[in-house]
Amino acid sequence: MDHLLKKILLPLIILGLLTFLGLQLNNKNSAPNVVFTTINGTKISMDSLKGKVVLINFWATNCTACIKEMPQLISTYNQFNKQGFALIAVAMPDDPPSQVLNYTQQQHLPFPVMHDGLSEISSQFGDVSQTPTAFLFDQQGHLLKRTLGELDFKALHQLLNTKLNYKKDSA
């Protein structure tokens, strides 16, 4: 019996654990299957964004770095949106919804904005608690980069140019 345990059951248990750990690691590198409800009531699922390079940006109206990078996010969105780039701005739970709506309207944000009032979205991205935090996913939903703090827009644009096969002279 002891021989059976060592020869058969132990390798099966180890194989099962390795498979489980592999799936867990793989899930952390893939976009969670969430549905965003924007402040305008539109629903957008991560699945519907497959085929696009997607930036999910967690921000707050009281975050200086978030507000500082917002004009560059607008510019990046405007430059790359028609080539297959999507951006969703997720306002953090402690940000008053009225402030998020006012800021969105005053700044004429061209991309979808949602308020994560119950932390449902931030928890799906690994319990995001600091802003700005951004996740960049490729066309298949694989995580390309996670950034805590301000984005390096030069590096982001280079990566978008590569992933989207974007050519400036064709724009």
67 shares a domain with 22? no
36 shares a domain with 24? no
Higher pLDDT, 62 or 10: 62
How many structural domains are present in the chain? 2
Dist. CA 144–CA 28, nearest whole Å? 11
- Say whether pLDDT at 60 is over 70: yes
82 shares a domain with 10? no
Position 18, amino acid: L
Tell me: the pLDDT tens digits for 100-141? 999 999 999 999 999 999 999 999 999 899 999 999 999 999
Cα-Cα-Cα-Cα torsion 33, 79, 74, 82, nearest 10 degrees, comes to -40
CB 87 within 8 A of CB 57: yes
Dist. CA 12–CA 15, nearest whole Å? 5
Dist. CA 60–CA 42, nearest whole Å? 20
126 shares a domain with 45? yes
Confidence of residue 40 (pLDDT cuts 50, 70, 90): very high
92 shares a domain with 11? no
Domain range spanning residue 62? Answer: 32-170
**Overall average pLDDT of the 28-42 stretch:** 91
- Which pLDDT belongs to residue 170? 43
149 shares a domain with 79? yes
Residue 65 CB neighbours (<10 A): 15
Indicate yes or no: pTM above 0.75: yes
